[in-house]
Structure formats: structure tokens, C-alpha cells
Amino acid sequence: MQEEKPHRLIFGLVTPEQVTWFMVAWLAVQTAVEYIIAQVLDANLPIMLVINLLEAASIIYFFQHVYRLWRED
Amino acid sequence: MAEIAVHVIPLPVKKRLYQWGLWLFFLSEAFLFGSVASARFFLAGLERPHVNQALGLAITSVLLASSVFAYRAEEACRRGDRPAFLRNLLATIGLGLAFLAGLGIEWSTAEFTPSEPYGTAFFSMTGLHGSHVASGVLILLLVLYNGQKGRFIPTECSCKRVWPWRSCPHPKSRPTWDQMWAVEASIKYWHFVDVVWVFFYPILYLMSWPT
């Protein structure tokens, strides 16, 4: 049986519930913001790029646990 | 008597190899998706064509929600909570199928044909991504099947009660890393497909830069 030590993520998140609710809010806000920006702004390419990089980075970090690649077990 | 040398890879090294192998696979896939995405700008420029914005937003929300459930399924498996694992995995698969259904509607109602420049890009990108979602659903169905057979969380609770829709209140038996890896890798793949759509959605539906 393997016991994993609780790992403190950025923003002080520790439990799966905290990560779940943070990500639900974060992804919802980002998706809504990019949708609204696209409807009101024609020249939106740079803003979209920044939003999508943040969105992708949050999924890679919180859901795909990329930090585990460098973590010593 | 002949001796056979058996080389056993230590677990920490094995973990590293598996993890890095998976991430290198994601990197190679990223190049594939990146080349198709860049072709969209080459073929159709930087203008936003007329697409169904509401449907695009809906299928994006569905795919993002599926990633949240996939994360919860992985965490439930990690702590040995089998009902929660299966429940969340089922929700992920259902949302993946809903995404594919939405894509099907988009394809059947599109106002452009594959022979037009934007149509070529749109059908190539959504087709390539959709095939990855479909393969992800198949992989998750395999995980669900094996999960129901008790492959990942093998020990049943000693109370012998059936708890199909809620967690048994007794202490859980957690899976080992070897048992957990198939679940972890499949769900990481699902998240990767989600990350790809995070870029494909604005490229196809939202981005514009007047020339």
C-alpha cells in the first residue's frame, strides 16, 4: 500500500475538493471571458492567446500533475 | 544449471520512465495538432468565419466539465473509493459522447463545405480532434470495464454491502502504483485531448484579426 504525502499546490490548494472547485470556477470564468471578448472585440488574437495559455497551463498543472515529473518519491 | 539473469527495474525508475514516456507521446501529438492548427491560418487567414457560436461554447463547456469529472475519478481511485471512481468515470464518458454528438451536429449544419479553405481547416481540425476524443472514450470504457471487475481497486470492503451510488463509510484499500498507472495514464490522455481543444476552440470559433 502506498501512502502519498499531501502535496501543497499553488494558491495553497491541497485536497481534491479544493482543486475541483477552484478549477470549475477558473475554467468557467476563462471560457466566459474569452467568449465575451470574441463577441465584442474584432482584433482579439493576442488576448485569446494569453487566455488559452493560462487555461491550458492550469489543466496541465492541476489535472495532469505535470509537477510530478520532477518530484522525488 | 543455467541461471537466468532477471533485471528488475526499481519502482522509482519505472515511474519516471512511464511518466516521461507518456509526456513525450503528448509532445509528439502536440506537434501533429500544432501543424493542423497552423494550416488553418495559412488556408483561411485571420478572419473569423460564420460558425455556430452557441454550439461551439456548449461543446467546449461539455469537454471542460468532462475533464473535471476525470480528475475526480482519478482522485477517487487513488484513495480507493470505487463507487466514486466508477461514477465519475461514467460521467466523463457520457460528456465525451455528448461532445462527439455536438460535433456531429456541427458537421451536419455547417454553412461551408470541406472544399472551401475554411471548411478544409475546420473539418480537418475537428475530425482529427474528434477521432482522439473517440479513442479517449474507448480507452475510458476499457478502464470502466476493468474498474468494475475490480482490477484497480481490488479489495472489497469487509462489510460485504453493495454501495453502488455512494461511498462505503469504512476504511479503503488504496491501489498500488502499478494498479493505478492504467487509470492515471488514460485520464492524463483525456486531459491532453481537452488541452488541445482549449486551443482549437478559439482558433476555429473566436479568434480574429482584421487585415
The answer as to whether B10 is a domain residue is: no
**pLDDT 10s digits, B24-82:** 999 999 999 999 999 999 988 888 888 899 999 999 999 999 999 999 999 999 888 88
Evaluate if residue A5 carries a pLDDT over 70: no
Q: How many domains does chain B have?
A: 1
**Cell 471571458 belongs to which residue?**
A33
Grid cell listed for B133: 476524443
User: In the prediction, which pLDDT does B208 show?
Assistant: 85
Evaluate if residue A1 carries a pLDDT over 50: no
Q: Which is nearest to B184 in space by CA: B141, B150, B140, B138?
A: B140
A9 or B103, higher pLDDT = B103
**Residue range of the domain that includes B147:** 33-155+165-206
Question: Hey, where are the domains in chain A?
Answer: 25-65
The greatest distance separating any two alpha carbons of chain B, rounded to the nearest whole angstrom, comes to: 79
Q: Which is nearest to B78 in space by CA: B159, B180, B196?
A: B180
ipTM surpasses cut 0.95: no
B48 contacts chain A (CB < 8 A): yes
Mean pLDDT, rounded, of chain A:
86
Grid cell listed for B82: 470505487
The answer as to whether B21 is a domain residue is: no
pTM: 0.89
Distance from CA of A8 to the nearest CA of B (A): 15
**CATH code for the domain of B76:** 1.20.120.80
**pLDDT 10s digits, B115-170:** 998 999 999 999 999 999 999 999 999 999 999 888 888 656 666 565 656 666 66
Q: Which residues of A touch B (CB under 8 A)?
A: 1-4, 16, 19-20, 23-24, 27, 31, 34-35, 37-39, 42-45, 48, 51-52, 55-56, 59-60, 62-66, 68-69, 73
The answer as to whether B18 is a domain residue is: no
Grid cell listed for B25: 507521446
**pLDDT 10s digits, A17-60:** 899 999 999 999 999 999 999 999 888 889 999 999 999 999 99
